[in-house]
């Protein structure tokens, strides 16, 4: 919301027919809203201001650049989206769900916490094997908190020229303070790994250290999420900097069943013996179980039926498992 001063300034500029001043105050309100995380309002205000600069533009003309869309050099480093994913869409272990719900709760109550001099949890490290929902978690947190998901492109961030990398990192951390969002450093190993690597010249260490310093010093209202599937690469110094570490595992039988029932809800499952279906899925990740479900769904649709049998489902799951084995044992 705008401050009382901003509202007074708006009215003054309106009475004195000072359009430029009016737009400038409106943009200040937009920036203020963006800093508070109300990026949609900010985007709308900006679009209105832009529109008012083009009085002859017909209704429905192209909108202004959304405020949460990174521009300039930042555009190559961070991409923004507004996911609608929610935590209920995810199959999670009770522990991970409780941790994530507490993060969302604290974000919703952040004014109350700040009033008492407390900061909500907002630096999270997500650890787990591939395909268990780490990236999806960042989207779900963005969806729950109605914030943009700012995907930090690590490959663009880490260049051969380390001095450049640190400068880019600086830009990203500046953006966190400027625009509240969920900032995801996916496949974080890329940064974490550099710290321990043997070709660790002073430059690499400086970059990692500067990431840690940024992380520690950062006082923004944004959520910072680092995801990795290679915990061995991360050292103590990294762990200490996060407010919470959330661990993900390959789904157990109950989780596999929940994934299948959710994904195949529009279909009728017939003759499913869950024991044999879940044993066919043993060792598969959430993502692989979902892929197998989609394969079964495709076959059903193409056979003009809304029924999927337990046997067919178990077969596609086993086919998925075989695919994984042939990938993990490449021919020498």
Ligand X SMILES: Nc1ncnc2c1ncn2[C@@H]1O[C@H](COP(=O)(O)OP(=O)(O)OP(=O)(O)O)[C@@H](O)[C@H]1O
Which residue ranges make up the site for Mg ion (CB under 5 A)? 134-135
Closest CB to ligand X among residues 232, 271: 232
For Mg ion, the closer of residues 168 and 286 by Cβ is: 286
Side-by-side strand order, sheet with 149-152: 78-81, 149-152, 182-185, 223-228, 123-127, 244-247
| Least Å from the CB of residue 219 to ligand X | 28
Question: Which DSSP letter does residue 188 get?
Answer: T
Q: Which of 135/296 has CB closer to Mg ion?
A: 135
- In the bound complex, what is the minimum distance in angstroms from residue 126's beta carbon to ligand X? 8
For residue 316, the tally of other CB atoms under 10 A from its CB is: 22
Binding at 286: pick from Mg ion, ligand X, none (beta carbon under 5-8 Å per type) = ligand X
Least distance to Mg ion from the beta carbon of 185, Å? 11
Residue in the shown chain whose Cβ atom is closest to Mg ion = 135
The closest residue (CB) to ligand X is 133
Backbone torsions φ then ψ of 5, nearest 5 degrees: -60, -40
What minimum distance in Å lies between the beta carbon of 232 and ligand X?
A: 15
State both tokens at 40: 């949609």
The item of Mg ion, ligand X, none sharing an interface with residue 39, based on CB under 5 to 8 Å by kind, is none
Q: Long-range contact list for 14-21, CB < 8 A, 24+ apart?
A: 19/52
Residue 50 backbone phi and psi in degrees, to 5: -60, -45
Is 34 or 87 the residue whose CB approaches Mg ion more closely?
A: 87
Closer to ligand X at the Cβ: 158 or 259? 259
The Cβ of residue 91 has, within 10 Å, a number of other Cβ atoms equal to 23
182 DSSP β-pair partners: 149, 223
CB 228 within 8 A of CB 154: no
> Which one of Mg ion, ligand X, none is in contact with 131 (Cβ closer than 5 to 8 A by kind)?
ligand X
Q: Which does 122 bind (CB under 5 to 8 A by kind): Mg ion, ligand X, none?
A: none
Residue 48's SS3 state is: helix
For the bound state, the minimum distance from the C-beta of residue 144 to ligand X, rounded and expressed in Å, comes to: 14
Task: Report the interface residues with ligand X, using CB under 6 A.
Answer: 90-92, 128, 130-136, 227, 229, 259, 286-287, 290
Minimum distance from CB of 188 to ligand X (Å)? 10
Among residues 126, 110, 90, 163, the alpha carbon closest in space to that of 244 is found at 126
- Which tokens belong to 121? 């949890």
Identify the sign of the CA torsion 284, 286, 288, 289: positive
Alpha-carbon distances of 82 from 40, 62, 211, 221, 281, rounded to whole Å: 10, 19, 26, 17, 32
Answer for the pair 151, 78: CB distance below 8 angstroms, yes or no: yes
Q: Using an 8 Å Cβ cutoff, are 214 and 178 in contact?
A: no
123 versus 134: smaller Cβ distance to ligand X: 134
Closest distance between ligand X and the C-beta of residue 260, in Å?
11
Is the CB of 135 or the CB of 278 nearer to ligand X? Answer: 135
Residue with tokens 């004014």: 111
Instruction: Specify whether the CB–CB gap between 67 and 179 falls below 8 A.
Output: yes
By a kind-dependent CB cut-off of 5 to 8 A, residue 229 interacts, out of Mg ion, ligand X, none, with ligand X
Q: Which does residue 87 bind out of Mg ion, ligand X, none, counting CB within 5 to 8 angstroms by kind? A: none
From the list Mg ion, ligand X, none, pick the one residue 133 interacts with, judged by a Cβ distance below 5 to 8 Å according to partner type. Answer: ligand X
136 binds, among ligand X, Mg ion, none (CB under 5 to 8 A by kind): ligand X
Tell the smallest beta-carbon distance from residue 325 to ligand X (Å). 18
Taking the least distance from each CB to ligand X, the nearer of 90 and 176 is: 90
């Amino acid at each position: 919301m705008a401050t009382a001063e901003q509202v007074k300034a708006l009215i003054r500029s309106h009475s004195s027919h000072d359009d430029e001043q009016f737009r400038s105050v409106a943009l200040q309100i937009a920036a203020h809203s963006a800093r508070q995380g109300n990026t949609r309002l900010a985007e709308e205000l900006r679009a209105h201001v832009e529109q008012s600069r083009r009085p002859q533009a017909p209704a429905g003309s192209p909108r202004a650049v959304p405020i949460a869309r990174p521009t300039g050099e930042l555009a190559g480093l961070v991409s923004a989206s507004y996911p609608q994913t929610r935590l209920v869409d995810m199959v999670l272990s009770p522990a991970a769900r409780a941790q994530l719900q507490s993060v969302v709760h604290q974000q919703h109550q952040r004014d109350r916490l700040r009033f008492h001099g407390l900061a909500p949890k907002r630096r999270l490290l997500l650890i787990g094997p591939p395909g268990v929902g780490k990236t999806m978690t960042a989207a779900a947190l963005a969806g729950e908190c109605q914030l943009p998901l700012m995907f930090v492109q690590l490959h663009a961030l880490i260049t051969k020229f380390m001095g450049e990398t640190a400068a880019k990192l600086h830009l990203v951390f500046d953006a966190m303070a400027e625009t509240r969002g969920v900032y995801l450093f996916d496949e974080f190993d890329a940064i974490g790994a550099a710290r321990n690597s043997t070709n660790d010249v002073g430059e690499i260490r400086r970059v990692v250290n500067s990431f840690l310093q940024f992380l520690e010093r950062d006082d923004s209202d944004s959520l910072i999420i680092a995801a990795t599937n290679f915990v061995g690469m991360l050292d103590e110094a990294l762990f200490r900097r996060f407010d919470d570490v959330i661990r993900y595992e390959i789904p157990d039988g109950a989780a596999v069943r929940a994934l299948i029932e959710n994904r195949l809800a529009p279909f009728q499952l017939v003759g499913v013996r869950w024991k044999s279906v879940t044993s066919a899925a043993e060792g598969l990740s959430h993502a692989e179980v979902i892929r197998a479900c989609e394969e079964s769904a495709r076959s059903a649709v193409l056979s003009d039926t809304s029924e999927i049998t337990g046997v067919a489902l178990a077969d596609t799951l086993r086919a998925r498992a075989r695919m994984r084995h042939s990938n993990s044992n490449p021919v020498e």
